[in-house]
Amino acid sequence: MSRFVCQLLLGLLLSILAASMTPAQTGVVENALPKIASGDSLKPSINGTRVTGTTPGKPFIFMIPATGEGPLTFTAKGLPSGLTLDSKTGIITGSVKKAGSYVVSITVKGARGQASRKLKIEAGDHKLALTPPMGWNSWNCWAGAIDDAKVRAAADAMIKSGLAAHGYQYINIDDCWEEKRGDDGEIITNARFPDMKALADYVHSKGLKLGIYSSPGPKTCAGFTGSYKFEEQDAKTYAKWGIDYLKYDCCSYGEIVRPKEPEDFKKPYRIMDKALDSCGRDILFSLCQYGMGKVWEWGEEVGGNCWRTTGDINDSWGSMSGIGFSQNGHEKFAGPGHWNDPDMLVVGMVGWSANLHPSRLSYIEQVTHISLWSLLSSPMLIGCDMTRLDQFTTDLLTNDEVIAISQDPLGKPAGRISDNQGIQIWSRPLSDGTIAVGLFNTSQQDAEAAAKWSELGIEGKKPVRDLWLKKDLGDFSDQYTAKIPSHGAVLIKIGKPTVTD
Ligand code: GAL
């Protein structure tokens, strides 16, 4: 037999063998579409966070996230003095006059009925990010190619796609907007951002909030001008423009101080925290220094509303699962107003500007990603091109029962309950008296996973609900078992709510 025929036969044999193996045996995760609930109900519903915070006297903006067949109209009872609600858009603006905890009764009416829910407005010092921030950040899709038009397009798409109606609020510009300092020291935007104040006004006119990025060092990570020695002035400039969120990325600060002592890590963040406190505007403070010096242990102390716990994520199973499943133990440092941040979401069209492509995570892996990030109380910052959302990505990001885990007002992130041969169980208590449980299969084979009552600290017969399917599964005693595909997840809620709206 000639060498060519031998090769042909061998090739044929290998392809027959490969075809007869399951994806798990070949180590390739099949990109099958998992069954998840799709689309919004036509009946009105109020979604997203149930609690928001503000400093009295500072500008306030909050759009009530609501879905249902329109036109929708909004009413609110018990708004604190200083705030007004636009009944057509559901946008609350103004500035709260007096510190306090206000319980506002919101009602939304639509073509198919009405819905009511309480929204707590906490007015006082340090009341931002009482639930993890939700929104979009430019880096994972546009990186250095970000400009004013793309930010406006992201804000438009946030509304048009319906994502804002599920609670996504922030539109965050990452690195690469800076040019240089003027003679008076004020930071000047580059030509791609002709008017930052006009951009903020545009984003606010939609009921959304605008975020920006800087570094405590002289340069940002992409080599643009950082805030070193200009922290106070920069914070005032951000306030003047109408910025609502600052990602403060360590980068070249290492050239100023090589951190050794805990205080070396904290110092640059303390300086900016002080500057933000006195700039006249509420600006959420997001620390980015990749987990150095165990930032989770002191992020709150230096005024951080969230802090990156890891290096940069990318859209591969190794990166996403490596980061996500290594968060165990950090949960005890997070809570309302201060969150661990395992980095942004890598779903949809991502690509860091050069190479925009659909996330290389399989659909099943993306369900794992969003389930885990919700359980972890991570910020939910979408990193994709918002103008090209497909139905699967939209469904993944707008499941209100999953979002309710991320935004649970109790704010107790999940920890790992067990890990047996790649089957991991994570759980967290919820404010309504139930518990959320994630069953994950990180192994290469499809496998059965069991959430055992004894390990979860519960007893007796309990109702179980599948959150991705939005479906009651029945009552279970002792344990709930599910077959989970390789790299997949099931997210359930166990128990009967003891607290309702
Ligand atoms: C990295 C950071 C990324 C992005 C980038 C911008 O340090 O982790 O999320 O902000 O800098 O240059």
342 in the same domain as 320:
yes
- Find all residues with CB under 8 Å of 260, minimum gap 6, and list them: none
Which of 406, 439, 466 corresponds to the end of one domain?
406
Residue 501 lies in a domain: no
- Report the pLDDT value the prediction gives residue 31, as an integer from 0 to 100: 80
Task: State whether the beta carbon of 249 lies less than 6 angstroms from ligand 1.
Answer: yes
What pLDDT, on the 0 to 100 scale, is given for residue 406? 98
For residue 357, the model assigns a pLDDT of: 97
Nearest protein CA to atom 3 of ligand 1, as residue: 312
Using DSSP bridges, classify how beta strands 66-67 and 45-46 pair: parallel, antiparallel or unpaired. Answer: antiparallel
Please state whether the predicted TM-score (pTM) of the whole model is above 0.85.
yes
- Residue 322: pLDDT over 70: yes
Does 281 share its domain with 156?
yes
Shared-domain flag, residues 98 and 153: no
Distance 343 CA to ligand 1 centre (A): 10
pLDDT > 90 fraction of the chain, expressed in percent and rounded: 91
> Could you tell me if 175 and 312 are in contact, meaning their C-beta atoms sit under 8 angstroms apart?
no
Per-residue pLDDT tens digits for 1-52 = 333 333 333 333 333 333 333 333 334 455 889 999 999 999 999 999 999 9
**Residue 485: inside a domain, yes or no?**
yes
Q: Read off the CATH number of the domain in which 455 is found.
A: 2.60.40.1180
Largest CA distance in the chain: 91
Per-residue burial over 129-161, b if 16 or more Cβ lie within 10 Å, else e, is bbbbbbbbbbbbbbbbebbbebbbebbbbbbeb
Residue 119 burial (CB count, 10 A) = 21
Instruction: Give, using CA atoms, the residue closest to atom 7 of ligand 1.
Output: 221
Residue nearest (by alpha carbon) to ligand 1 atom 9: 312
CB 174 near ligand 1, within 6 Å? yes
pLDDT digit string, tens, across residues 135-190: 999 999 999 999 999 999 999 999 999 999 999 999 999 999 999 999 999 999 99
Cα angle 416, 420, 422; round to 5: 85
Dihedral angle of Cα 421, 423, 428, 434, to the nearest 10 degrees: -130
Best residue for ligand 1 mutational test, from 138, 172, 174, 214 (most atoms within 8 Å of Cβ): 174
Nearest residue by C-alpha to atom 11 in ligand 1 = 221
Tell whether ligand 1 has an atom less than 6 A from the beta carbon of residue 244.
Answer: no
Q: How high does pLDDT run on average in the chain? A: 94
Q: Domain check: are 180 and 251 in the same one?
A: yes
Task: Tell me, yes or no, whether 162 and 263 share the same domain.
Answer: yes
Which atom of ligand 1 is nearest the CA belonging to 174? Answer: 10
Q: What is the CATH number of the domain that holds 312?
A: 3.20.20.70
- Per the rule left: phi > 0, alpha: psi between -120 and 50, beta: everything else, 427 is beta
| Domain identity same for 327 and 348 | yes
With a 6 Å cutoff on the Cβ, whether 491 touches ligand 1 is no
Domain that holds residue 49: 45-123
* Percent residues over pLDDT 70 in the chain: 94
- Which pLDDT belongs to residue 30? 57
Residue 35 lies in a domain: no
Last residue of a domain, one of 379, 406, 433: 406
Residues carrying an active site annotation: 249, 312
**Same domain flag for 190 and 99:** no
Query: Would 473 be classed as within a structural domain?
Result: yes
Domain count, the chain: 3
- Same domain assignment for residues 286 and 318: yes
Q: Which atom of ligand 1 is nearest to the CA of 221?
A: 12
What SS3 state is found at 358? strand
The reply to whether 477 and 346 lie within a common domain is no
In a domain, 376, yes or no: yes
Encode 453-477 in three state secondary structure: HHHHCCCCCEEEEECCCCEEEEEEC
Say if residue 295's pLDDT is above 60: yes
Q: Which of 37-41, 330-334, 399-403, 485-489 has the lowest mean pLDDT?
A: 37-41
Q: Considering only CA atoms, which of 311, 339, 315, 196 is closest in space to residue 249? A: 311
Mutate to test the pocket of ligand 1, among 136, 138, 139 (most ligand atoms within 8 A of CB): 139
What CATH number does the domain containing 94 carry? Answer: 2.60.40.10
Ligand 1 centre distance from Cα of residue 367 (Å): 25
The tens digit of pLDDT for each residue in 359-372 reads 999 999 999 999 99
For range 84-103, the mean pLDDT: 98
List Cα–Cα distances, 301 to 354, 442, 477, 478, in angstroms.
38, 35, 43, 41
Which of 72, 103, 123 marks a domain boundary? 123
Among the residue ranges 29-43, 112-126, 214-228, 323-337, the one predicted with the least confidence is 29-43
Closest residue to atom 1 of ligand 1, CA basis: 221
Confidence check: pLDDT of 476 > 50: yes
Q: Is residue 33 part of a domain?
A: no
Instruction: Please report which residue ranges of 206-261 form alpha helices under DSSP H.
Output: 231-241, 253-256
Distance CA 296, CA 329 (A): 10
Does residue 466 have its Cβ closer than 6 Å to ligand 1? no
Same structural domain for residues 139 and 222? yes
472-500 average pLDDT score: 95
In-domain check, residue 29? no
Q: By the 8 A CB rule, do 167 and 130 touch? A: no
- Residue 251 Cα, ligand 1 centroid: separation in angstroms? 8
Which one of 288, 292, 295, 341 would you pick to mutate in the ligand 1 pocket, going by the greatest count of ligand atoms within 8 A of its CB? 288
Cα–Cα distance for residue pair 370/489, rounded to 1 Å: 10
- 143, 176 contact by CB (below 8 A): yes
Same structural domain, 262 and 401: yes
Q: State if residue 341 touches ligand 1 by the CB under 6 angstroms criterion.
A: no
Is residue 221 lining ligand 1, measured as CB closer than 6 Å?
Answer: yes
Q: Give the length of the chain.
A: 501
Examine the domain organization and report whether 390 and 437 are in the same domain. no
- Ligand 1: distance of its center to the CA of 86 in Å? 37
Closest ligand 1 atom to 220 CA: 12
Mind giving me the DSSP string for 262-313? HHHHHHHHHHHHHHHHTSSS--EEEEESTTTT-GGGTTTTTT-SEEE-SS--
Q: Is residue 8 part of a domain?
A: no
